[in-house]
Structure 1
Amino acid sequence: MDKLLLFGLSLLCLSRAAAIQCKQCLFYKDGKCEEAEQTCTLKEDESCMIQTIFFPFSTEREYEQIQAGCEPNCKSGEDISERQVVITSCCKMDFCNDPSHSRIVSE
């Protein structure tokens, strides 16, 4: 019985150690989080997500918004409208949604 309990606990520790961490921030400006940058741990059916919103026709200086976090049922893709372009990238590796990475690896 003790061996079975020990085996179960070791599996639990291994699953915790293998948990994927993602960057989490509601608003990045110039590559830095405007609020306290945090991390989140992926749960089942979640992915690390980074979303960039471009305002190509804006006359304001702020033409880009970036946010990152753990997202359930994340879908990579682009959404283009008259006012903005939204690019969403989803991935499942530690901190793969870090905006300082030159290339985000999407799933």
Structure 2
Amino acid sequence: MSNVSSISFSKASVEKGSLKRSEYLNLPDLQFFLWCQHKYKLNRGVYNTIDDWFYNFGIKQVIHRRIYILAFLEFVKENDLKQQEEKKFIRFGNGGLTRTLQQFVNVYKMVK
């Protein structure tokens, strides 16, 4: 098993267009989740809900969904940095996750 915490999101990977070939995107599901948990402080239930939401939104391919999941988590991290630093896990509150996913879609003008 690889050391999940040592895998980092590389800006160079995005710029070179090699994001789809990036090591962390191709990890088995549990290892990818553990990497996300370490980097973004989310629990398995929130991760599964985000993954399911993007699937139902129409993003069927796993690797594409993972790219959207990471973009969404960065969106959350940037917009709520102060609050998240103080907590063990990301918290959205009642209905907050769906509302935040919809905001993300609207900001990036994703079309279903």
Give TM-score scaled by structure 1 length: 0.24
Higher helix share: 2
Relative contact order higher in (CA < 8 Å, ≥ 6 apart): 1
Give TM-score scaled by structure 2 length: 0.23
Whichever of the two has the greater Rg, that structure is 1
